[in-house]
Amino acid sequence: MQHITRNLIAAAALALLAGCASTGDTTGQDQTGTQQDATTEQGITAQPGQDAYSYPYGQAPSQYDTYDTTGGTAGGQAGGGRPGQAVAGGGSAVSADRIVYFSFDSAEILPESQAIISKNARVLTGNTRIITQLEGHTDERGSREYNIALGERRANAVRQAMIAMGVSPQQIRVVSYGEERPAAAGQSEQSYALNRRVEIVY
């Protein structure tokens, strides 16, 4: 019993490591080989397989960290958050001058976002070796996969604006997280507004 608990703690620690470092250690004894049949495009961070650990059903652990996005308490290390407050480990630590916000159900670039987009576009045109990843996000309302599509539509809107400002398409990658990585917890309009965003990551 005791060593099972110890393994679980080790597993949780590994999971945390994997969550923090995109080039997480893959020496977990439980890791099953990931077979990569499909060709994978070079990403800006880790290759597939480095963040995830699979288990045969018969040997799979029954414990996992709990996580609460209601703005209440959170178990484990995951961290919850108050409404309108940043979620620990949820959104990435992108500074405010690299976040473009959107209206509900919209991928339209708001006038107040032009300054942020052009400032980042200038950085990219000034140094063409920089590759940026535009990460699109939505609030949690509605279907999860449809939100992935909406998040991509937002990221593509920022991409088009940057290209119009002279940034090379080769410098821009787009990924949508939909509602899977909220910046703010809770079901308030304030949280929703903070979550409808594109993060300009480079």
Partner 1 sequence: MRSTAFKLLGLIVLLLVGRFTLAQQPLTIDITKGIQGSGIPIAIAPFGGGAPEDIAGIIAADLQRTGKIAPQPPGTRTDYSVTGQAQSGGARGYIVQFQLAGVQGAPLLNLSFDVPPNQLRPVAHRISDLIYEKLTGEKGLAGTRIAYIAGGGGSWYLVVADADGQNPRVILRSGQPLMSPAWSPDGGKLAYVSFEGRRPQIIVQDVYSGARRVVSAAPGINGAPSWSPNGQRLAFTLSKDGNPEIYALDLATQNPVRLTSSSAIDTEPVWLPDGSIVFTSDRGGSPQLYQIGPGGGAAQRLTFEGDYNARPTVSPDGRYIAMVHRRGGRFHIAVLDLQTRQFRVLTSGGLDESPSFAPNGKMIIYSNGQRLTAVSLDGSVKQDFTLRGNGRDPVWAPYGR
Site for partner 1, residues 42 to 81, rule: CB under 8 A: 43-70, 74-80
The nearest distance, CB 169 to partner 1, in angstroms, is: 12
How far lies 68's CA from each of 8, 65, 137, 182, in Å? 20, 10, 19, 12
Give whichever of 118 and 133 is closer to partner 1, judged by the CB atom: 133
Measured distance CA(182)–CA(168) in Å, rounded: 29
Q: Is position 82 an interface residue for partner 1 (rule: CB under 8 A)?
A: no
Give the strand order in the sheet containing 197-201. 99-101, 197-201, 132-137, 172-178
Give whichever of 15 and 117 is closer to partner 1, judged by the CB atom: 15
Give whichever of 118 and 180 is closer to partner 1, judged by the CB atom: 180
Q: Is position 37 an interface residue for partner 1 (rule: CB under 8 A)?
A: yes
Q: Which of 4, 10, 17, 164 binds partner 1 (CB under 8 A)?
A: 17
Q: Is position 169 an interface residue for partner 1 (rule: CB under 8 A)?
A: no
The nearest distance, CB 83 to partner 1, in angstroms, is: 14
Site for partner 1 in 91-150 (CB under 8 A): 133, 140-146, 148-150
Q: Which of 101, 180, 188, 193 binds partner 1 (CB under 8 A)?
A: 180
**194 closest CA partner among 86, 80, 73:** 86
Measured distance CA(102)–CA(72) in Å, rounded: 26
How far lies 42's CA from each of 49, 151, 173, in Å? 14, 21, 11
Tell me the one-letter amino acid at 47. Q
Partner residues linked to 86 by β-bridges: 184
Give whichever of 32 and 128 is closer to partner 1, judged by the CB atom: 32
